[in-house]
Amino acid sequence: MKPKTIRDSQVIMAHEAIPPDANPSGNVHGGTIMKLIDAAAGVVAKRHCRHNVVTVRVDNLEFLSPVYIGNLITVKTSLNYTGHTSMEVGVRVEAEDLMTGQVTLTSSSYVTMVSIDEKGRPMPVPPVIPETEEERRRYQEGKERALRRKERKGKIG
C-alpha cells in the first residue's frame, strides 16, 4: 500500500458551544467533548485509509479546565502512528473565550481507530510516513504505546 504523510489526513474541527451541549449552569458536558474528539479522530482515520473505521480505545482522556456555553471548542487531530490495521490519532482540545480571546487547554488524548471491511473485520491501512522531527517523535511514542497496549491485552485476555 502506498504510504501517506501526516499532512494528508490531519484536521482541525471547531464548534461553538451552545446550551444543549451543557448542564444548566453552563458547563459543557464531558460527553459533548468526547463526541467531538471521536468524530475528529474518525475523520483523520478515514482520510488516511479512505475506508470505514471504528473506535477501539481512547487513552489519556482528562478534562483539565472547564468549557462554557459560548466558548469555541477546537479539536486538533493528526495521525501519530499506523499499525497493520489500527491507527493512533493524537487529539488536542482547546477552548477559546470568544469575548476575551483567552485559550485554555481542555484535554489531550490518543484515540485508536481500526479500519474495517464490509463485514466488520479489520483490514490493512497504508503506512504513515512521519516527515518532521516532531512527527518522528510522535510516531515513535505512538509505536511504543501500541506495543504496550498489545502486551496488556495479551496479559489480560
Residues that bind ligand COA (CB under 6 A): 54-57, 83-86, 112, 114, 116, 120, 122, 149-150
Nearer to ligand COA, 67 or 114 (CB): 114
**What's the burial of 31, exposed, middle or buried (CB within 10 Å: 0-12/13-18/19+)?**
exposed
- What's the sign of the alpha-carbon dihedral 47, 82, 136, 90? positive
- What's the sign of the alpha-carbon dihedral 73, 79, 81, 84? positive
Question: What letter does residue 98 receive in the DSSP assignment?
Answer: T
- Cα–Cα distance list, 157 to 114, 150, 154 (Å): 19, 10, 5
- Give min distance, CB of 77 to ligand COA, in A: 17
Nearer to ligand COA, 16 or 117 (CB): 117
- Give min distance, CB of 9 to ligand COA, in A: 16
Nearer to ligand COA, 69 or 116 (CB): 116
Nearer to ligand COA, 57 or 92 (CB): 57
- Give min distance, CB of 25 to ligand COA, in A: 29
Phi then psi for residue 116, to 5 deg, are: -125, 155
- Give min distance, CB of 152 to ligand COA, in A: 9
